[in-house]
Chain A
Amino acid sequence: MATTDIHTHLDVHHHDDHSHDHEHHEGNFWTKYIFSEDHKVIGKQFLFTGIFWALIGGTLSVIFRLQLGFPDANLDWLRPILGEWITGEGKLDPEFYLALVTMHGTIMVFFVLTAGLSGTFSNFLIPLQIGARDMASGFMNMLSYWFFFLASVIMFISFFLETGPAGGGWTIYPPLSALPQAIKGSGTGMTMWLVSMALFIVSQLLGGINYITTVINLRTQGMSFTRMPLTIWSFFFTAIIGLLSFPVLFAAALLLIFDRSFGTSFYLSDIYIGGEALPHTGGSPILFQHLFWFLGHPEVYIVLLPALGISSEIIATNSRKPIFGYKAMIGSMLFIAILSFIVWAHHMFVTGMNPFLGSIFMLLTLIIAVPSAVKIFNYVTTLWKGNIRFTPAMLFSIGLVSFFLTGGITGIFLGNSAIDIQLHDTYFVVAHFHLVMGSASFFGMLAGIYHWFPKMFGRMMDNRLGAIHFWLTFVGVYLVFFPMHYIGIAGFPRRYYSWTNFDTFNGFFDLNMLVSIAAIATLAAQFIFLFNFFYSIFRGRLASTNPWYSNTLEWTTPRVPGHGNWAGPIPSVYRWPYDYSKPGAKDDYIPQHIPYSETPESNLPHENELIKLETSGEQGAIIVEGKH
């Protein structure tokens, strides 16, 4: 016994070695809260910045919904905020409308659902759930946030330019985005967009390198890949996808910058402005689309996978059942990650590409339905006959599954290259991606906040307000996006400022009004969340260390974990994270750090073999033979 004791002590010590240097100093305000290298603080910084951007992005959408829902309304009352962007007749400036749509997309996709979602939860959860003191490089992690912050500042400043922020759509297709003289939104605003996004990419790469390194190298004893929670698996895949796809966006953006500012012709050819030919020859705008969508499609899964991982964890915990098909969940995420790189041209069916090539991309695209269906099946079978507890996090996770299904089904329509000729660039596309990627990921983010709030701030959020927030948002989202399917099938194109000049589309006046009212109500409902969030940070009920009776390692830390996460040695892991309601067990959950030798009543035969139990007669004590 004595020998084993010493042996492990050394082991634990060795394990802690690399983080010893920054474990013992607390630092002043600046190093503790601002330039912190603690992954938990950095995660919260991402969260607060993400919430700030979500509010701005949401407000922008409501402003352009006002225009779409109430085209005749006088918007003079917005003049104090928007100034000259409201024209003399009290209408929204058409070019500002384009900027609104562009910025809404950019902010939501990149700043909220990429940085705000993976930035928050990868940073906060990876070290806590794999049993590490911190990220592999705290300094790089801090840099990652501050690059994002700088990107945010530049993007925010572009709102206050006289020519307004970027207006070429979040996909910034050239030649519109490449020619500053094209529209106001292609001027300085576009330059700042590109600079901001370049910094953003640097931030994502720094973060991604850190996440992957941490997951692979800093797992605690016993945390094999098959014992990792699905959250970690999803963050891991997300980081890999980001690492492979963001450099390609950087390559595309750099060439666009050269075209815009230096006079090269990568994307430009044969363009006449005011009867004068521009000097650019030999470029191809389709080239940009290929490069952009090589990032753009994986980006969809960068946004979605973390949300799916979070909901897997929450649904298993609150169903009090092991996740159904743990390995199938990992496999389907891996499959989705691989497929995400070979389907990009389904965004380009109508660019005049070879129809044969189109049918290959169509086939690959439709195959994504298989792993997605596996995931939905596993969610439903996890819920099936579970002892379900409807916490707000659970509600939002179930909402995610609903959106993922509803929005995913329309993906099968859009993935068909023939049907896409009719549906391309209509509100059908808008409805599809807002449900499957926008709302689903947003719900995943909210679920994550509700679930891990007690670990982040040591207090509980109010469940009743959470439930109200859920139902208003859930119903609101469907009211906003479901009618858009009909508008889209009728051929109403996206990004149009006004449709009242076209007889064909006049019939959707009332439907558009309904959508706009629902959008306003949904945004208003988010203030319930904001109140709940900020109130609970300061005045919420004190949380216990494990309020959801969950299995994963983060709930073995103190109520508010300090720098280094565990006061004593890092716990070791002996089992997978989903031992809920195991037959014979005392409680309906067995945390990961409980050895099989302590739970003889619930062990399965192969688990007993794992530990080679020997019972001695005296005092009923258990003596275990270690593997040395």
Chain B
Amino acid sequence: MAADIKIVEEAKKPLSMHPQKFALWLFIVTVIMLFGAWTSAYIVKRGDIGWSEIVIPNLFYVNTGIIVLSSISMVWAVNAARKDNLEKLKLAISITTILGVAFLVGQFLAYGEMIAMKEFFTGGNVSHSFMYVLSGAHALHVIGGVVFLLIVLTASFKNKVHSKSMVRIEMCATYWHFLDILWLYLFIFLILNR
């Protein structure tokens, strides 16, 4: 009898979400703090004497377009997966991955442009070093994102991503959109602080 009573009184199940998705959001928080620290440092440094303002390479504008497009194709991919439209999913996730790689290549070429403008990582003014640190650290995170995309890409070509198995692609999309927004933040930040 006693056992029955325990059961009947079963308390409410606490609110919870998918642990891995939640952990990804926490990881995103740490990345926000990392870039928050650097951009705050940039603002503090900018108030100091001897600061020379930066020139933003033109390729950054192109790359910004590329990464925004890749976010749009990511949305497309997730929608296709949700509707079990696997052919469309394969196309969209491939486009996203290609755009991601294109962004990385573009950023690398932008460094060439910066060097041509005599904006060096070392030996020059701190403002130039900051440009490299911000975009370089972002690029490292994008490399991680591309690896994640490749994993999801392989899975979708094996038809393992569909409306009943969305966790991976949803997490990938969350991270990818975050990288997009992070770049937009950095880009606008640099434009406003030059």
Do A and B belong to a common assembly? yes
CA distance A213 to B55 in the complex (A): 42
B9 and A279 form a contact (CB under 8 A): no
Given that A11-B10, A222-B12, A595-B9 are contacting pairs, would A136 and B51 also be in contact in the complex, using a CB cutoff of 8 Å? no
A538 to B9, CA, bound (A): 42
Task: Find out whether the CB atom of A574 lies under 8 angstroms from the CB atom of B19.
Answer: no
Question: In the complex, what residues of B have CB within 8 A of residue A282's CB?
Answer: 48, 50-52, 125-126
Residues from chain A with Cβ under 8 Å of B61 in the complex? none
Determine if A153 is an interface residue (Cβ-Cβ < 8 Å).
Answer: no
Tell me if A284 and B8 are in contact (CB < 8 A): no
B185 close to chain A: CB less than 8 A: no
Interface residues in A, total, Cβ within 8 A: 67
**Stretch touching chain A among B33-41, B84-92, B171-179:** B33-41
Most buried by B among A205, A214, A251, A572: A251
B22 in contact (CB, < 8 A) = yes
C-alpha spacing A620/B8, complex, angstroms: 18
The reply to whether A250 and B23 contact each other, CB–CB distance below 8 Å, is no
Name B108-144 residues within 8 Å CB distance of A.
121-123, 125-126, 129, 133, 137
Check if B34 sits within 8 Å of A247, measured CB to CB. yes
Min C-beta distance of A264 to chain B, whole Å: 4
In the complex, B6 has a CB within 8 A of chain A: yes
Given A246-B30, A290-B44, decide whether A218 and B6 contact each other with a Cβ distance below 8 A: no
Question: Are A210 and B34 closer than 8 Å at their CB atoms?
Answer: no
Binary interface encoding of chain B residues 4-27 relative to chain A, with 1 for a CB under 8 A from any of its CBs, else 0: 111111111110111110110011
Digitize A586-597: 1 where CB-to-B-CB distance is under 8 Å, 0 elsewhere.
Answer: 000000000111
Q: Are A205 and B23 in contact (CB under 8 A)?
A: no
Instruction: Enumerate chain B residues within 8 angstroms of A294, measured Cβ to Cβ.
Output: 37
Query: Known interface pairs A247-B34, A284-B45, A290-B44. Does A266 touch B23 (Cβ–Cβ under 8 Å)?
Result: no
In the complex, identify which listed stretch (A1-9, A28-36, A329-337) lies at the interface while the others stay far away.
Answer: A1-9
- Are the CB atoms of A216 and B12 closer together than 8 Å? no
Given the complex of chains A and B, what is the CA–CA distance between A279 and B126 in angstroms? 12
Tell yes or no: A221 within 8 A of B by CB: yes
Q: Is A8 in contact with B7, judged by CB distance below 8 angstroms?
A: yes
Q: Who on chain A is nearest to B30 by CB? A: A247
Contact A624 B5 (CB under 8 A): yes
Contact A219/B14 with A209-B23, A247-B33, A248-B34 known, Cβ cut-off 8 Å: yes
Judge whether B192 is part of the interface by a CB distance below 8 angstroms.
no
> B23 contacts which chain A residues (CB < 8 A)?
136-137, 140, 209-210, 213
User: Are the C-beta atoms of B9 and A283 separated by less than 8 Å?
Assistant: no
Q: How far is A246 from B26 in the complex, measured between Cα atoms in Å?
A: 13
A212 to B8, CA, bound (A): 30
Give the CA-CA distance A611 to B44 in the complex, in Å: 58
- A222 to B11 Cα, complex, angstroms: 4
Interface assignment of A626: CB less than 8 Å from any CB of chain B: yes
When A4-B7, A263-B123 are in contact, do A281 and B20 touch as well, CB less than 8 Å?
no
- Enumerate chain B residues within 8 angstroms of A252, measured Cβ to Cβ: 37
B26 near A221 (CB under 8 angstroms)?
no
Query: Is A356 part of the binding interface, using a Cβ–Cβ cutoff of 8 Å?
Result: no
In the complex, the answer to whether A217 meets B17 with C-beta atoms within 8 Å is: yes
Contact with B along A221-256 (1 / 0, CB 8 A): 111100000000000000000011111101110110
Expressed in whole angstroms, the Cα–Cα distance for A221 and B121 within the complex equals: 55
In the complex, which residues of chain A have a beta carbon less than 8 angstroms from the beta carbon of B11?
221-222, 224, 572-574
B residues less than 8 Å from A5 (CB atoms): 4, 7
Inter-chain contacts of B26 with A (CB < 8 A): 208-209, 212-213, 243
Q: Which residues of chain B come closer than 8 Å to A287, judged between CB atoms? A: 41, 44-45
CA distance A572 to B8 in the complex (A): 11
Q: Is A621 an interface residue (CB 8 A)?
A: yes
Cβ–Cβ contact B31 & A247, under 8 A: yes
Q: Which residue of B lies closest to A201 (CB)?
A: B30
Chain B residues near A1 (CB-CB < 8 A): 4, 8
Cα A217 to Cα B36 with chains together (Å): 27
Q: Is A625 an interface residue (CB 8 A)?
A: yes
| B-facing residues in A143-184 (Cβ within 8 Å) | none
B126 touches A622 (CB 8 A): no
Q: In the complex, A574→B123 CA distance in Å?
A: 65
Nearest-neighbour CB distance to chain B for A620, whole angstroms, equals: 10
Residues in chain A near residue B188, CB distance under 8 A: none
Chain A's closest residue to B125 (CB) is A282
> A377 at interface (Cβ–Cβ under 8 A)?
no
- Could you tell me the distance in whole angstroms from the C-beta of B17 to the nearest C-beta in chain A? 6
Q: How many Å from the CB of B7 to the closest CB on chain A?
A: 4
Give the distance to chain A from B74, nearest Cβ to Cβ, in Å: 23
Whether, in the assembled complex, A258 has its beta carbon less than 8 Å from a beta carbon of chain B, the answer is yes
For B50, give the chain A residue with the smallest CB separation: A282
Partner of B121, one of A137, A219, A264: A264
C-alpha gap A264/B16 in the complex (Å): 46
User: Hey, which chain A residues are within 8 Å of B22, CB to CB?
Assistant: 136, 212-213, 216-217
**Neighbour of A281 across the interface among B16, B27, B30, B50, CB < 8 A:** B50
B108 to chain A, nearest CB (A): 18
Cα-based distance from A290 to B5 in the complex (angstroms) = 58
Q: Residue of B at shortest CB range from A283? A: B126
Instruction: Decide yes or no whether A291 CB sits under 8 A from chain B.
Output: yes
Please give me the residue from chain B that is nearest to A288 by CB atom: B41
Which of A208, A214, A572 interacts with B10 by CB under 8 Å? A572
From known contacts A217-B19, A258-B129, A264-B122, infer whether A251 and B37 are also in contact, taking CB-CB under 8 Å: yes
Q: Which residue of chain B has the shortest Cβ distance to A596 in the bound complex?
A: B9
Evaluate whether A137 and B19 lie within 8 angstroms (CB atoms) in the complex, with A219-B14, A282-B125 already known.
Answer: yes
Closest to A266 in B: B126
Q: Which residues of A contact B41 (CB under 8 A)?
A: 251, 255, 266, 287, 290-291
* Shortest distance between the CB of A173 and any CB in chain B (Å): 15
A459 to B6, CA, bound (A): 31
CA A622 – CA B2 in complex, angstroms?
A: 8
Interface residues, chain A, CB within 8 Å of chain B?
1, 4-5, 8, 11, 15, 18, 136-137, 140, 205, 208-210, 212-214, 216-224, 243-248, 250-252, 254-255, 258, 262-266, 269, 279, 281-284, 287, 290-291, 294, 572-574, 595-598, 611, 621-626
Supply 15 A–B pairs (Cβ within 8 Å), ascending by A. Answer: A4-B8, A136-B23, A218-B16, A243-B26, A248-B33, A250-B34, A251-B37, A258-B122, A258-B129, A266-B45, A266-B129, A284-B45, A290-B41, A597-B5, A621-B1
> Apart from A245-B33, A596-B9, what are 20 other A-B pairs with CB-CB below 8 Å?
A5-B4, A18-B19, A136-B19, A137-B23, A209-B23, A216-B22, A218-B19, A221-B13, A222-B10, A243-B30, A244-B29, A244-B33, A247-B30, A248-B34, A248-B36, A269-B50, A281-B50, A282-B50, A290-B41, A597-B5
